[in-house]
Amino acid sequence: MITFLAFIGQPKFIFQPHLHIPWLTNVRHVRPLECISDADQPGWPRAVQLADKSLLDDHLTIVIVTARPDFKRIPLSLASLVCHLDYRKLSEVILLVPRRHVSYLEPFLAGQAVNHWPWPISIMPDDIVLKHSHTHSYRLQMMFKLVIAQIIKTEFYMILDSDCIALWPIHVEQLLLKQQVSTSKMKYNTPSYRALYQLEERSDHAEWWPESEQVLQIEPNTCITNNPSAKTIGVTPAILSKSIALRALCRLQTLYGDRSFLNVLANWALWRTPFGRMWTEYTLYYLTALCTGIFNSYHFHRANTSSIPALNLYGLSVWWPTDWNSFSRDQLLKSANAGLRWRQKEIDNNNGAPIIDSSGYHLPQIAIPKLYPLL
């Protein structure tokens, strides 16, 4: 078992809070969402996508939706990715931030600073994908994680929070698995790779599923069983498919109209939110993929294959101050140290395809002690 990421800090409303006034809420997408009907599934239109042959679907885009209160956590997260994640398969790292916060990051991540990173890194103002006002912060974050698919240039993108830290070496073959695409699937543009997903039981977040089923106008116990022990998709960190994310948005656009569907998400059943009942980006995504029958063409779980080392997307989680005790600190330090030693072993032995090799300017002896100082 390879521990992938640790979370540090409780769930946050990372955007500056604004009073949510339903009758003043205005959320609209900036880029047109063009959808076409599917003859086999007329209720689930597909997004029109411009084919970009310059990027393969074995590449990954990293997306971090963040804001100034979380900026202090970003350096460690990025440094851990430099140490542990195969940079040669990363198309881009995107930081989606409020426009007024962009200037705080630019001195460190733009201009000449980009030469310090082994992959292209972009600081994108969030208003290039959504315009919004009087909107609940947490709902806005979830909408961004789906709508960002409009500008992603790879089939798969990984959603991270600013406080996700890689603890062990991660090879892209553990995240994206090559598959044989049949002739019948080729007409649906099925990708030649599938992305890893983390299993959760439905009961882990039981309150989310009924809300998402209602938003998508799905009858309960049809596309997905309502058995509490049913296996479902997990939460952040998660790898999403551009095609599935856009298809979920197309379904909502068809149901509620192009000018209204994002406002429907923003204002949906606000009175039930204090009771934990709310749609989420991942439940909307998973339900869409199951109802259209395409989930297994885009995703795999580590239990389904023995051809690659197992990888667990969840690691040590610290949500509340009481979680950050001497035991959890020792666990984190032991995991981090073990991961760094294993990383160094890969480099020293040159065994397989190392994540950071010494042939380039991103030398591990610099990256590890300088950028990832957990020893």
For 342-366, what is each residue's pLDDT tens digit?
777 777 775 545 444 334 434 344 3
The whole-number pLDDT of residue 126 equals: 93
Q: Is the peptide bond before 373 cis (omega within 30 degrees of 0)?
A: no
DSSP 370: I
Query: Do 25 and 267 meet the contact criterion of CB atoms below 8 Å apart?
Result: yes
Instruction: Give yes or no for residue 106 having a pLDDT over 70.
Output: yes
Residue 287 has pLDDT above 50, yes or no: yes
Give how many domains the chain has, as a whole number.
1
pLDDT computed for residue 235 by the predictor: 92
Q: Examine residue 246 and state whether it is found in any structural domain, yes or no.
A: yes
Residue 13 has pLDDT above 80, yes or no: no
Domain with 264 in it: 5-174+187-319
Confirm whether 241 is domain-assigned: yes
Residue 367 lies in a domain: no
357 lies in a domain? no
Output the average pLDDT for the chain.
81
> Cα(268)–Cα(258) distance, rounded to whole angstroms?
16
In a domain, 26, yes or no: yes
Mean of pLDDT values over 327-332: 78
Rg of the chain taking only CA atoms, in angstroms: 20
> Regarding predicted confidence, which is higher, 211 or 76?
211
Whether the per-residue pLDDT at 8 is higher than 80: the answer is no
In a domain, 346, yes or no: no
d(CA 266, CA 27): 8
CB atoms within 10 A of CB 154: 22
At 246-273, the pLDDT tens digits run 999 999 999 999 989 999 998 888 788 7
**Edge-to-edge strand list for the sheet holding 164-166:** 164-166, 5-8, 317-318
| pLDDT score recorded for residue 365 | 43
Do 249 and 147 touch, CB atoms closer than 8 A? yes
Q: Is 308 helix (H, G, I), strand (E, B) or coil?
A: coil
**Does 326 fall in a domain?**
no
Mean pLDDT of 170-178: 83
Residue 7 pLDDT greater than 80, yes or no: no
Residue 186: pLDDT band by 50, 70, 90 thresholds?
low
Count the neighbouring beta carbons within 10 Å of the beta carbon of residue 106. Answer: 11
- Find which of 120-124, 304-308, 344-348 is predicted with most confidence, using mean pLDDT: 120-124
Cβ pair 240, 285 in contact under 8 A: yes
pLDDT in tens, 135-149: 767 888 999 999 999
Tens of pLDDT, residues 149-169: 999 999 999 999 988 888 888
Which residue bears the tokens 């599934």? 41
* Structural domain includes residue 353: no
Integer distance in angstroms from the first to the last C-alpha of the chain? 22
Are 372 and 83 contacting, i.e. CB atoms less than 8 angstroms apart? yes
* Whether residue 190 has pLDDT greater than 60: yes
Report the CATH number that the domain containing residue 65 is assigned in CATH: 3.90.550
